[in-house]
Amino acid sequence: MRTIELPSGQPIPALGLGTWKMGESNRNFQREVEALRYGLELGLTLIDTAEMYGEGGAEEVVAQVIAGRRSEVFLVSKVYPHNASKTGVVSACDRSLKRLNTDYLDLYLLHWRGSVPLSETLEAFQSLKAAGKIRSYGVSNFDTEDMAEAVRLEGGKAIATNQVLYNLTRRGIERNLLPWCRQQKIPIMAYSPIEQGRLLNNQALKKMARERDVTAAQIAIAWLLHQDDVIVIPKSSRIEHVKQNYAALNLALSAEELATLETAFPAPAHTIPLEMH
């Protein structure tokens, strides 16, 4: 597994398992557990979750997957903005740890920016780190101005990553945010790499996939893996999808193919605000 280095020097896998919309239905619980477990067997040891996903249900799915294997896993969770106060973050983290049945997170993120002052959230993150409950902390859905403000605050220099929407059809971050993060040596975590499935009907992508005898999803994920300092976390609720996502690791796109994708999915010509789900 290729890894990317966080600012702390801690390595993080370049491709992981996303859990958005998991833990919402008892009917799917076992299938979701099996899919993530299969990913873990393949070596996809990065698992990304959040207290928001299934209101804690996704964390309970993950708990089943990592039981007895916690040391193998790079575990990420996120705190709701309304829980991001000095005491709220600590309580939310404790609840996540309980649901995940672990005593630490490798990375804990503020899910998006809310009304609580960033300085307060960062203070709480630092206290959790000092207590050994989290190893690193970061943010999600932060635009360039938010990032610049955050790193100026106490504890802001230790922000390990920014998790944002990034895929072939959502390339707005390439104008300002991605270069800024690279300059600061803060990797980007890309969620929704196949635009919740909508990308899969694109004709250019389908044509390239047919020519390479792979899936459109694999091309889209491989394109992201070609970007420097980008970690990719596709949702992984079915074994078949996990298998395909994993195969994208070894899918090297040629300069010609990258140019074709550049034409089919041009980056925006002007700055656009950060996009979210």
H helix intervals, 157-270: 177-183, 203-212, 216-225, 239-247, 255-264
The structure tokens 């950060």 sit at 274
* Domain 3-199+229-239, CATH among 3.40.50.1110, 3.30.310.10, 3.50.50.60, 3.20.20.100: 3.20.20.100
How far apart CA 168 and CA 102 sit, in angstroms, is: 35
Distance, CA of 55 to CA of 71 (rounded, Å): 25
Q: In the chain, what are the domain boundaries?
A: 3-199+229-239
* CA 73 – CA 106 distance, rounded (Å): 9
Catalytic residue among 38, 53, 137, 191: 53
- Nearest-angstrom CA–CA distance, 150 and 145: 9
| Per-residue model confidence (pLDDT) at position 94 | 98
How large is the angle between the packed helices 86-100 and 57-66, nearest 10 degrees? 50
β 134-140/46-48 pair status: unpaired
Instruction: Provide the pLDDT for residue 29.
Output: 97
Q: What is the reported pTM?
A: 0.97
3-state helix, strand, coil in the chain (%, to 5): 50, 15, 35
d(Cα 227, Cα 258) in Å, to the nearest integer? 11
153, 147 contact by CB (below 8 A): no
R_g of the chain computed on alpha carbons: 18
CB 53 within 8 A of CB 19: yes
In the chain, the amino acid numbered 277 is H
Closest to 233 in 3D by CA, of 102, 90, 107, 70: 107
**H and E: helices and strands count for the chain:** 10, 10
pLDDT in tens, 120-143: 999 999 999 999 999 999 999 999
Q: Is 53 a catalytic residue?
A: yes
Residues of the chain with pLDDT under 50: none
Burial of 31 (0-12, 13-18, 19+ CB in 10 A): middle
18 and 234 Cβ atoms separated by less than 8 Å: yes
